[in-house]
Structure 1
Amino acid sequence: MQHDPSGFSQAVEFAQLALTLHDAEHVDETVESVVRSAVLAVRGDAAGLVLSHRGGRLEVAAVTDPVVETIYRRQLETGEDPMLAAAAAGRPLHVPDVMTDPRWPQLSEVLSELGLRSVIHVPMLLGGRGAGILSVYAALPNAFSADDVAVTHILARHASVAVATARRQENLAQAIDARKLVGQAMGILMERYGLDGDRAFEVLKRYSQDNRTKLRDVAQHLIQTRQLPTGEAKDQVPPFTA
């Protein structure tokens, strides 16, 4: 049985790209790694990644070239949105040549003017839900093969998991940081006013509710200024009435 050296080399390269994604610790670092990896994996000329947030809000999270952000904006302006069509269908959308594809004439003209002719849009799915969209572009028509679409699809799966993991890590770090801040703020109130822990926490919570401010922000304000958000003088006892 003969081995395919080029295929083996590509497999090794792709495995390394996947490891790079999972090694990234923060969301920003992860999405930047995703778009760089996408360009390398299929030898494209540019790539971009849009993340989906709660409520359906879309965010351009990373691009390898400012031209990609221009493309995303034009899609929304013209109402011709193959990127969202791919997300709605839940499967990759490959346009071999934008100049011969009749589905998005205005956008095709824009892409051509920007020097891009081929595109792959791949939805990023996690747990059956849309997490974002990975897009890769090339200057030449028919630049991407069916194998390139498959590779981008696999990369998008890795990216979905990597981004979700990075988000969890950041949320956990923020939660730990918030607990530390609240603990320090409680200590200040306990020392200054002779409160116990439960009462000190109730004071912070009341100020958070009354000022419509996150508990973490109330705590940070107290630590930095030695005052509660309403501007109480540092030696003035806050109202402890229920």
Structure 2
Amino acid sequence: MTQSIVRQRADSRAHAFADFAVRLHDSSTAAETAEAVVSYAIPAIDCAHAGIALHDSDGRITIGTVSSAVPHALYGAQLEHGDGPVIAAIQQNVVLYIPSAAAETHWPAWSRRAVALGLGSVVHLPLRAGHATLGALSLYKNSCDAFSADDLAIAHVLARHAAVAVASAQRREHMSNRVDARKLVGQAMGILMERHDLDSDQAFAVLRRYAEEHGLKLQHAAEQLIATRRPKHHRPAS
């Protein structure tokens, strides 16, 4: 391979990574961030398929994004049964490299499904941000032992960037949700104040009592009130 070809490939990778970094920066949600990572991972590591599973603060694991039906099917089966390599990678916070899907014995059901889908080797990398594991990046190739040392090194770097970007996107979403919640509560209080001639403290007390009596978060009680124009029977305590 000539030096000029090597330089061209290096320049191409540098431009691709720069575009990837810009797309990560522009992603406003965790889902958009996951899509950017998966889109970059496939050509960067020459994968057949890729996906990201997300792990929320309540401990739930969900499908973040996938490049095709193959990782979607594998994720879906693991989430349905509560077991599999991507779940282990997230819950144990470890990188799981499976060089041969056919030879994998710890998860036989997963192994059979992976082989049936034409997969040879798989790697799951946890998305670590501080002390939290936000999900896992999954990369799939059709041949066994197909991930080189360089592939795995790039995958680790990509997972670190993905974790930081997902954490930032989740913080932005959380802040946006808090703003939306305050707006909803304010709107619900306005309805109560107008309908029942209450001041703001009384309206808030009615809304809070309604939420407590029905086991709702304040935001959800406000949403219900706005949607139904209820609770009519709730009056402030005298």
Matched, 1:8 2:11: yes
Out of 61, 65, 81, the residue aligned to residue 62 of structure 1 is 65
Matched, 1:31 2:34: yes
Which amino acid letter does the alignment assign opposite residue 173 of structure 1?
S
8 A Cα contact 2:86 2:124, kept in partner:
yes
Cα displacement string for residues 144-178 of structure 1 (whole angstroms, at most 9, x for unaligned residues): 21111111111111111221222121221121111
Aligned length: 234
Corresponding residue for residue 111 of structure 1: 114
Matched, 1:171 2:184: no
How far 1:192 moved relative to its partner? 3.0
How far 1:117 moved relative to its partner? 0.6
Corresponding residue for residue 142 of structure 1: 145
Out of 118, 133, 136, the residue aligned to residue 133 of structure 1 is 136
In structure 2, list runs of 5 or more residues that go unmatched.
Answer: none
Cα displacement string for residues 61-114 of structure 1 (whole angstroms, at most 9, x for unaligned residues): 221112212223455688873334444664433333334566655543432221
What does residue range 155-170 of structure 1 map to in structure 2 within 5 Å? 155-170=158-173
8 A Cα contact 2:203 2:236, kept in partner:
no
Corresponding residue for residue 241 of structure 1: 237
CA distance, structure 1, for counterparts of residue 18 and residue 144 of structure 2: 28
CA distance, structure 1, for counterparts of residue 192 and residue 104 of structure 2: 67
Residues 188 and 75 of structure 1, relative CA distance in 2, 3 Å threshold: closer
CA distance, structure 2, for counterparts of residue 88 and residue 116 of structure 1: 24
How far 1:48 moved relative to its partner? 1.4
CA distance, structure 2, for counterparts of residue 105 and residue 88 of structure 1: 19
- Tell me the SS of whatever aligns to 1:54: coil
Which amino acid letter does the alignment assign opposite residue 118 of structure 2?
G
Residues 90 and 217 of structure 1, relative CA distance in 2, 3 Å threshold: closer
Corresponding residue for residue 224 of structure 1: 227
CA distance, structure 2, for counterparts of residue 77 and residue 205 of structure 1: 37
CA RMSD in angstroms comes to: 2.7
Corresponding residue for residue 94 of structure 1: 97
Which amino acid letter does the alignment assign opposite residue 152 of structure 1?
A
Corresponding residue for residue 44 of structure 1: 47
